[in-house]
Amino acid sequence: MVEEKGMGKVVFTVFIVILLAFLFFHFYKVNAIEKQYKASMKTVTAQLKEANNEINALKGEIDVLRYKLQIAGIINDVAQNNFGIAQEKVNNLVKKLENEGNKNIDEIKKIQEELQSLFSKKDNNKIIEKLGVLQKTIEK
């Protein structure tokens, strides 16, 4: 009976040692997986930030292209001597730029005032030249 109690203690001790080994291995693996997860999250976050920066840059380029297209339409109206329509389009464009908070809005408004006087004089060449200056100011 004493041998059985001694044998039971040995089996219990071996069981506890094996259990502790499994527990240690489990914590080791969980820690390794957590480190790998954190590293992959940093990578994904950096890639996402870079993609968002590229998207914002592309949105800015798209806006500039839209403004160029609007100015081209205004030039077309001026070429067809539709000064009233062209003047209205310029005013709408400036309002849109002002609402969007364009950084060069003061310069744009000065150009708008110069265009207003040119529209009243109906000078196609000077209007088209000023529209080119407007376009360059928007692109800044």
Write down the pLDDT at residue 10. Answer: 83
List, as own/partner pairs, every contact residues 21-27 make where C-beta atoms lie below 8 angstroms and the sequence separation is at least 24, other chains included.
Answer: none
Are residues 110 and 118 in contact, defined by beta-carbon separation less than 8 angstroms? Answer: no
Q: How far apart are CA 5 and CA 14, in angstroms?
A: 14
* pLDDT confidence band for 3 (50 / 70 / 90): low
Percent of the chain with pLDDT over 70: 96
For 4, the token pair is: 């059985």
- What pTM value is reported for the model? 0.64
29 pLDDT more than 90: yes
> Which whole-number Å values give the CA distances from 48 to 42, 44, 45, 60, in the listed order?
10, 6, 5, 18
pLDDT digits (tens, 9 = 90+) for 39-57: 999 999 999 999 999 999 9
User: Residue 36: CA atoms inside 13 Å, Cβ hemisphere, count?
Assistant: 6
SS (H, E, C) the chain: CHHHHHHHHHHHHHHHHHHHHHHHHHHHHHHHHHHHHHHHHHHHHHHHHHHHHHHHHHHHHHHHHHHHHHHHHHHHHHHCCCHHHHHHHHHHHHHHHHHHCCCCHHHHHHHHHHHHHHHHHCCHHHHHHHHHHHHHHHHC
122 pLDDT more than 70: yes
Mean pLDDT in residue range 12-20:
89
**Residues belonging to the chain:** 140
pLDDT digits (tens, 9 = 90+) for 72-106: 888 888 888 778 888 888 889 889 888 888 888 88
2 pLDDT more than 60: no
